[in-house]
A and B are shown apart, each in its own frame.
Chain A
Amino acid sequence: GQNIDQPTEMTATEGAIVQINCTYQTSGFNGLFWYQQHAGEAPTFLSYNVLDGLEEKGRFSSFLSRSKGYSYLLLKELQMKDSASYLCAVRDSNYQLIWGAGTKLIIKP
C-alpha cells in the first residue's frame, strides 16, 4: 500500500529552527508537496520538490532524497504565526496526491 509518515506533533521555541520530516512509500513518484494549514483554514502551498536537493524559499526550505523516500521541511527564525499543521503529499505514478496526516507545530514564546 501507499504510505506517508510524519510526526503527529512537534513543539519549538520562537526564533529557533525546526525540521519536520516526511517519509513515503508510494507506487511511483512525481513530486512532493508541503502545505501549511492553520486551524480552521484552508491548506496553502509552501513548496514542491521533484529533484533531489534543497529548495529554499525565504525562512522555509524543503529537502528531498528520492532514493531514501525522504523529505524534510525546515523552518528558520520561527514566529508565533508559524503555529499550524504542515502536510506532506506525494504525487504517485497515476498523478494522484497521497497525503500524510500532518504535523501539528506548536510554537512557544
Chain B
Amino acid sequence: KNEVEQSPQNLTAQEGEFITINCSYSVGISALHWLQQHPGGGIVSLFMLSSGKKKHGRLIATINIQEKHSSLHITASHPRDSAVYICAEGSGGGADGLTFGKGTHLIIQP
C-alpha cells in the first residue's frame, strides 16, 4: 500500500510570502491530488495531476514521477489561503480509493 508523506505539518507565514508544501509517496501512481480543507470540514479539489505542472490562479502544482514527489506552491499568499492542504494518491484503477497524507495546516497572517 502506498504511503503518502507531507511536509511541513504546520506552516505559519506572512501575507505575500511564497508558500511551498511537499508531498512524497512510496510507489508509482497514476494520479496525485491536492485538496484544500477549510475549518468546518468542506474539501475542495485543487489539482489532479499525473505529470508535469498545473496552474490555477496563484496556485501551482508540480509532480516529479521519477522522484515520487509533488509540490504545491502558493504565490502572493493571502489570509484566505489559511486552510489544511492535503495530498492524496489515487491510482487510475482506484483499487484502494485515495490514500491521503496527514495534511499541512497553513496559517497566513496579515
A and B: bona fide binding partners: no
Interface residues of A (CB under 8 A from B): none
